[in-house]
Amino acid sequence: MTIEVLNVSKSYDGKPYLKSVSLDISSGSVISVIGPQKSGKTALLRIILGLEQADEGQITLLGDYKYDRVNAGVVFQEDCLCPGFTAAQNVAMVNEKLSVRVARQELDKLLPQGLCDRPVEELTPGQRRMVCIVRACSIPADVRLMDQPFAGMSEAEKEKSIAYIRSVLANTPLVVTCLPGEELPFGRTCLLS
């Protein structure tokens, strides 16, 4: 499966954010989309997901693709976790085939011992982002899209999260948005201005 992003542009209130961006997101590819704040990184992911429309350009799904939209595991810029639920419950709820026990096992690879069964609002910002990453990687998906997934993390948490992402990716393509200097230490980059 390949997702082609062809000359996508997007403006808000007459101000251009994305200017003729093209990407080839194919099996096994890892892409860091790098740009300063307000450069259109989030808009690009939202357009790929079909949550927004591009002003110009198009998103094309190529290959043996069974959906009319992108089937993605997503880390949004906001945590989008369900308050009052534990970290393990937040992960398990996105995949009906995933038990809370298996969610705990995955979370234990990132979170300090004993935090899987705490309500997510009791976790630090970095720990909540780790829950979001595990949740996005627990969804059967054709692509993983992560919008600044390492925000609020310590350097150690970021390194641990990157190692986790690498270990579970297999051949699933990954697109990660980040600020300059925060790109993944592997894969290729796409610079936005």
* CB 69 within 8 Å of CB 48: no
Instruction: Provide the percentage of residues in the chain whose pLDDT is more than 90.
Output: 82
Q: Mean pLDDT throughout 90-110? A: 93
Domain ranges of the chain: 2-191
Q: Mean pLDDT throughout 122-138? A: 97
Burial pattern 54-83, b for ≥16 Cβ within 10 A else e, equals beebebebeeeeeeeebebbbbbeebebee
Confidence of residue 182 (pLDDT cuts 50, 70, 90): confident
38-91: per-residue pLDDT in tens?
899 999 999 999 999 999 999 988 766 666 778 899 999 999 999 999 999 999
Decide if domain 2-191 falls under CATH 3.40.50.300: yes
